[in-house]
Structures are given as structure tokens and as C-alpha cells.
Amino acid sequence: MTDDIEGVGSTTDDVDGAASTARRAIVAKRVDAGTADLTEISKLAAAAGYEVVGGLSQTRTEDAAFMFGEGKVAELRDLVRRTDADAVIVDNDVGPYQTFNIGGKLPEGVEVIDRFTLILEIFGQRANTRKAQLQVELAELRYELPRAEAKASLAKRDERPGFMGLGEYDESVERDIKRQISEIRDELDSIASKEEARREQRRDSGFDLVALAGYTNAGKSTLMRRLAAEIDVDENADRHPDLDTTAESQDMLFTTLGTTTRRAEMKKRDVLLTDTVGFISDLPHWLVESFESTLDSVYRADLVLLVVDASESVEAMREKLVTSHDTLYERNEAPIVTVFNKVDQLAPGELADKRAALSGVAPDPVAVSAKTGAGVAELRDRVEDELPDWERERLVLPVSDDAMSLVSWIHDHGHVDDEAYANDQVTVDFQAKPSIVARARSKAAALAPAEST
């Protein structure tokens, strides 16, 4: 089957400049059965800055030499010539031998890029922090390692350098890749330790940590902007350093490669909301592992909001929910609240139908429109209901400067239900995390009694 779609996703004027400056690419995909969907790979290509000028797909078993059938590769060559494409982006995991063979059939200078190379290219473009750069480098090395090992095996078996056009084998390359992987892991472990200490510092300051998770383009960043308080977190404050104040909300994949944290606007609880890199389908285990440090913001949160694009089909939503659950439940212990976003795009009655159809994988979801604000108030209430329970406490303190400082501290770290003054005493009824209540009791016990007048 051929899906010859010239002009697929060719409107890229808002991606890395004008379309005229973008590299031109053909997207291609092989599937064992059914019909190949080129939508996501086209969006990924656009996110990387390519202008998608055509597409081709095939339904057949994998060809060991070319991935596609040899006749289909000839069609691909003709399509490249007609569209004057610079690259062919294959939405499959293409082996080094297959990449070499496909490239040999294409016009000279046309690059063959597989799905995971494209994803790494996008990650590399968006890596603006040391942590993100390390994770991209780690993913690239993990991607290259089996290819280096394959070159070693083939070269040793054939006893000729450059076997099958794969390049001369140097056994030191494999050792060097493993050494670099080990060094990067050590540095990422050090960064992770500092981030864990920072999370605990924020919890000690009375904050609950809520993470946004979900697939790319589900609207996580837009929802974060909707939930965020009007006043940005002070990134220079001692109790919550290095917090970003903005989150992008563009119609583009991977606009948030790193994590973005803002203070959320809630009724009682002090919440820090973190947006992370979006999931995408068919990610190999090695790639997920490479970004484990970023995903720690989800795994170690007090609550996870799993955002799903409700405008998609039930089948697509179910597949993404199942994959997300597999990723989250592997290590996550926090409760998960499913959020059906983009309900403003649904026809009357469609939301109820989707709720019923997906009740097995998304029980009691919250329906919102991050774009219009519909349902966001209900989501705020749900967040506070699902966060770990607070303890209630009542302290009777002497009226003194130290006591007033403690009362102010309780306001900052919990929710005061009542504050009353009588007979040189102040009575404070409040709710807070168990750790905050324990610290308040300790501070109260250390107060000197009020001086008699």
C-alpha cells in the first residue's frame, strides 16, 4: 500500500523561521498490518524544523535489507526526486545496514533518518540546561552503543574493515561509549541527589508537589498556565530556588523538554506544579531510561495529573492511557488523577460517551478546557481532595514577639481556620502536613511564657 501524500504538513512557517529556510523531508513508515498513520511523524519532523513535502507508507513484513520492499524504496527515490527533498525520515527503528542500503538507492546527499534519531535531534535542539544536555547525550550514546557493537561483530566475522559499507571498525569506540555513559550517569546521579534535597526542602516549607504528565500536545503547558497563580514563584527565595516562571504553550511537540515549576493557585494548599517533557508513542526502554532524571519530577510528586487530549478518538485515548499507566505505575506511588482536556472541541454528548467507553482505564476523570477555563475550578477542588491528608491542630500561645513569628510561620506553611486573642494568649486552629504540625508543636513548646503586666 502506498500513501503518496505530497505536501503533508508543509505549513512550517512557525517552526524555526520561514518554510523556505527549512530542510525538505519525506516521511515514510512501514507497518505489519493495517494502515500506517503518518500524522505523528509529520509533527515530529515539523518540531525538528523540517518542511514535510511528501509521505509514503507500506503494509508488509519487514525486509531485512531495506525495511521496506525494494520496489517501495524505488518509489521513495522517485518521490525524493520529484519533491527535491533533502532527507527521508522513516517512522521505524531502522538498523545501520538498512539505513546504508536505503541511502544507497536515493539521490546523493539525501540523509536517511529513523524515528529515534529524529527524536534525539529534537531533544538536542531543546536542551537548554546542563541536565537536559546530559540526558540527550546519554540517549545518543545508548542509541549508538548497539550499533557500535553490531559493527564490531560484523567486522570481526568478515575480517575486513568497512564491512557492508558500515565504516572501519575501531574496538576503542565501543569502550569509549561505555566510559562516557558511565561518566554521564554519575553526573546525573549527582544532579538527581540535589533535586531530591530541593524537593524535600519545598515539602518542609509546606508545599505539596503536583506533576503534570501525559502525551505531547495534550495541553499540559496550557493547563499549567491556567492553574498557575498570578504571582510567580520568587526564584531567588531561599525555600524554593531556581523555579521557572513561564511555561510555553505552543502547538508543537516537545516545547517543554526540561521541567517547569510554578506556584499553583489553590484555596487552602500551597502547591508547586511541575510540567515535564511529554510522552510519545513507541518509545524504546533505553530512551525512557535516559530521561529518568526528568521523570523523577513525576515519580516523586505527591499527586500526578495525567492529561489526555479528549478531542482524539476513543481508541487513541485508550492506547495513550494504557501506555502512560505502564510508565507511571512502574515507579510512581502518588495518586493519579486523569484529566480530559480540550472538551471545548467535543460535540454535545461526546464527553459522556468517552467517559463511559474509557471508564476501565480512566475512572472518574476531570473534564476541562485549559483554553477556555471550563472545569478548571473543579480540577482545583479535586487536587486538594486527592493530596495527602493534613492534620488539624490547636495551639494556645502566649502573646509575644516569638509567638507572633510562629503564628506567621503557621500561616505560611499551612491553612489557619481560626485565630483568636484573649487574656494575653493567642489560639490558633490550623491544618497542615504532619511534618509541619510536628514542627509547630516543637516551636510552641520552646516559647517562653508571656510576661505578666
Backbone angles phi, psi at 213, to 5 degrees: -130, 165
Distances (CA, A) of 296 to 104, 217, 286, 319: 42, 21, 16, 23
Beta bridge partners of 31: 59
Angle, vertex CA 286, rays to CA 261 and CA 45, nearest 5: 70
**Residue 92, Ramachandran bin (φ over 0: left; ψ between -120 and 50: alpha; else beta):** beta
The answer to the question of whether 86 is labelled as a binding residue is: no
List the grid coordinates of 15: 517552526
CA 98 vs. chain centroid, Å, equals: 31
d(C-alpha 149, C-alpha 410), whole Å: 59
The answer to the question of whether 329 is labelled as a binding residue is: no
The answer to the question of whether 214 is labelled as a binding residue is: yes
Q: What 8-state DSSP symbol labels residue 366?
A: E
Q: What DSSP string runs through 399-437?
A: SSHHHHHHHHHHHHHSEEEEEEEETTEEEEEEEE-HHHH
d(C-alpha 32, C-alpha 335), whole Å: 37
Distances (CA, A) of 58 to 47, 102, 218: 24, 15, 28
The answer to the question of whether 369 is labelled as a binding residue is: yes
The answer to the question of whether 222 is labelled as a binding residue is: no
Distances (CA, A) of 164 to 82, 99, 168, 235, 253: 29, 11, 10, 55, 36
The answer to the question of whether 371 is labelled as a binding residue is: yes
Strand 303-309 with 50-59, pairing: unpaired
The answer to the question of whether 320 is labelled as a binding residue is: no
The answer to the question of whether 215 is labelled as a binding residue is: yes
Are the CB atoms for 213 and 328 separated by under 8 Å? yes
d(C-alpha 290, C-alpha 120), whole Å: 11
The answer to the question of whether 246 is labelled as a binding residue is: no
The answer to the question of whether 249 is labelled as a binding residue is: no
The answer to the question of whether 341 is labelled as a binding residue is: yes
Handedness of CA 16, 223, 341, 199 (dihedral sign): positive
The answer to the question of whether 69 is labelled as a binding residue is: no
The answer to the question of whether 256 is labelled as a binding residue is: yes
The answer to the question of whether 343 is labelled as a binding residue is: yes
The answer to the question of whether 360 is labelled as a binding residue is: no
The answer to the question of whether 109 is labelled as a binding residue is: no
The answer to the question of whether 420 is labelled as a binding residue is: no
d(C-alpha 317, C-alpha 167), whole Å: 43
List the grid coordinates of 256: 517543554
The answer to the question of whether 342 is labelled as a binding residue is: yes
Output the known binding site. 214-221, 256, 275-278, 341-344, 369-371
Output the known binding site for Mg(2+). 221, 256
Output the known binding site for GTP. 214-221, 275-278, 341-344, 369-371
